[in-house]
């Protein structure tokens, strides 16, 4: 991703998300046992959605001591918000305790990033992607690196 390469060039240090791990989170479930995973798979299996587009149109950061979390922001999108709300409502009804903060769709580019003095990222020209599937992912740290493994997926209904 060009945004991430620009960020790398402007950084003194940081942990950058590998290409295969770039993703847009709809709901973070935290640690789940096998029963909860089965419930989440069933909830995802019940989902129906049509293809929709998203547009990446900004870059920003969450400021943190020891380095910031930099992200690519997704433009306001009614279809994305609708799918995210349906999913989180179903997960909450199934007993999951979900984050109460307002959903802020973004793709994390790097963590613990310290940039050079005066670094100002070029704001991206808007570019889009079509969403054709939602995946339930397992995240785990292996040999000091985060690895995401698909557990199941739900493809769009056409």
59 is catalytic: no
Is the CB of residue 104 less than 8 Å from the CB of residue 2? no
Of the listed 39, 68, 106, 111, which one is catalytic?
A: 106
Tally of domains in the chain: 1
pLDDT tens for each residue of 64-100: 999 999 999 999 899 999 999 999 999 999 999 998 8
Is the CB of residue 46 less than 8 Å from the CB of residue 153? no
The whole-number pLDDT of residue 144 equals 81
The whole-number pLDDT of residue 96 equals 95
Backbone angles phi, psi at 121, to 5 degrees: -70, 145
pLDDT band at 136 (very low <50, low <70, confident <90, very high): very high
Of the listed 8, 9, 23, 122, which one is catalytic?
A: 23
Task: List, in order, residues 6 or more apart from 111 with CB less than 8 Å away.
Answer: 14, 15, 17, 67, 69
CATH number at residue 104: 3.90.1140.10
Query: What token pair was written down for 3?
Result: 């945004």
Beta strands in 42-85 (DSSP E): 52-62, 68-74
DSSP 8-class letter at 88: H
Measured on CA atoms in the order 33, 36, 42, 45, is the torsion positive or negative?
negative
Lowest mean pLDDT among 30-39, 98-107, 118-127, 141-150: 118-127
Q: What is the pTM of this model?
A: 0.86
pLDDT tens for each residue of 27-43: 999 999 999 999 999 99
106 is catalytic: yes
Report H helices in 54-150.
78-93
Domain that holds residue 66: 2-155
């Amino acid at each position: 991703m060009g945004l991430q390469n620009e960020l790398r060039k402007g950084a003194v240090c940081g942990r950058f998300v590998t290409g295969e791990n770039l993703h847009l989170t709809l709901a973070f479930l935290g640690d789940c046992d096998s029963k909860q995973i089965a419930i989440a798979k069933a909830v995802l299996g019940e989902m129906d959605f049509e293809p929709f587009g998203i547009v990446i149109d900004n870059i920003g950061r969450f400021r943190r001591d020891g380095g910031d979390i930099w992200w690519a922001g997704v433009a306001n999108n009614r279809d994305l918000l609708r799918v995210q709300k349906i999913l989180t409502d179903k997960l909450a009804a199934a007993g999951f305790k979900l984050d109460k903060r307002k959903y802020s769709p973004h793709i994390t580019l790097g963590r613990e990033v310290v940039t050079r003095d005066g670094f100002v990222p070029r704001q991206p020209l808007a570019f889009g992607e079509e969403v054709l599937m939602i995946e339930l992912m397992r995240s785990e740290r292996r040999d000091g690196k985060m690895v995401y493994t698909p557990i199941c997926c739900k493809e769009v209904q056409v």
